[in-house]
A and B are shown apart, each in its own frame.
Chain A
Amino acid sequence: MPPRAPVPVDALQRALAAEHAAVWAYGLAGAFLVGKPAAQLTEAAAAHQTRRDSAERLLTDAGAQPVQAEPGYLTPEPVTDSTSALRLVLTAETDAAAAWRSVIEVGPAEPVLRGTALDALTAAAVQATHWRVVAGSEPATVPFPGAP
């Protein structure tokens, strides 16, 4: 079936793949974080599940087959403690921000698509900043979240 709406299918598939990866990363990181960060981690993981579902819906509505989660992922570095767990979720947020920004850049000026992508980019940037604050890394913000 041809796409019903001119959505950027490839960019959305990358955003969906990033959300799958983020959900997985938060699952792994949860084993190494306790206390307040652990509670915040649960909340952040739920946000990624919601955005994963949004991406799947946009793709399905466009007549595309959404990509599946990988059975497993390689982490950039071994995750062995709270510090490396924080770096993992920060990487996941950075990847998600980049993928959603690209949906805006290559996709049409369509309100639902742009709104979904902007919300996702903003949430990833805010969450990344939060984890930098928790990790004590400065600066806690970047000027252009998601920019290549």
Chain B
Amino acid sequence: MAVGALLVAGPTTVAGCASPPVPEQPDPLERPAQRAESDVAMAQAVANAHPALATAARSVATDRQAHAAALRAELRRVRPSPAPASSSAPPPPPPAPIAAARRSAAQGELVGAMRAAQDEATGLVGALPGYRAALLASVAACCASHLTVLS
């Protein structure tokens, strides 16, 4: 057999099999989606402030933007209508972040964010339905990949 053939014979995505969360409970993907969005803003601020970190930071921003989009798409799929007003409504978006002045501190922010995102996604993989678990597994693996670039 050919190395590489397994991609061709790869798995089919079963997007429709995830069971919706219990109504009124926050969707477990909400926090990872918010985290991905805030990481995008932080990484963009770092890229703008520190030319030496720009390539790595832009790469973080690009991947985390893709994560946010995929997580939001899954959230909309399960709950298409706007969430009913409740005490657990998400807070308004925070103001645009300002990158740390020192380059080492800014790099530390990127590393800390990727570590936290990997941990959060890893913690969710165990219990979620297949499609969602696989999505979070890829998010965790991607964030771990960024840690190797940043270290």
Task: Using CB atoms and an 8 Å cutoff, list the residues of chain A in contact with chain B.
Answer: 11, 14, 17-18, 21-22, 24-25, 70, 73-76, 88, 91-92, 94-95, 97-99, 101-102, 104-107, 109, 111, 114-115, 117-118, 121-122, 124-126, 128-130, 133, 138-148
B126 touches A111 (CB 8 A): yes
Minimum Cβ distance to chain B for residue A128 (Å): 8
Give the residues from 10 to 34 in chain B that come closer than 8 angstroms, CB to CB, to chain A. 10-14
Question: What is the bound-complex CA distance between A24 and B63, given in angstroms?
Answer: 31
- B interface residue count range (under 10 / 10 to 19 / 20 to 34 / 35 or more): 35 or more
B3 touches A73 (CB 8 A): yes
In the complex, 10 of the A-B residue pairs with CB atoms within 8 angstroms, ordered by the A residue number, are A22-B3, A73-B1, A91-B3, A105-B14, A115-B126, A121-B137, A126-B141, A144-B135, A144-B138, A147-B138
Minimum Cβ distance to chain B for residue A41 (Å): 15
The interface bits of chain B over 121-144 (1 if a CB of A lies within 8 angstroms of the residue's CB, else 0) are 010011111110111011111101
Task: Using CB atoms and an 8 Å cutoff, list the residues of chain B in contact with chain A.
Answer: 1-4, 6-7, 9-14, 55, 59, 62-63, 66-67, 70, 118, 122, 125-131, 133-135, 137-142, 144-149
B62 touches A98 (CB 8 A): no
B6 touches A104 (CB 8 A): no
A73 touches B2 (CB 8 A): yes
B129 touches A118 (CB 8 A): no
CB-nearest residue of chain B relative to A94? B7
A95 touches B137 (CB 8 A): no
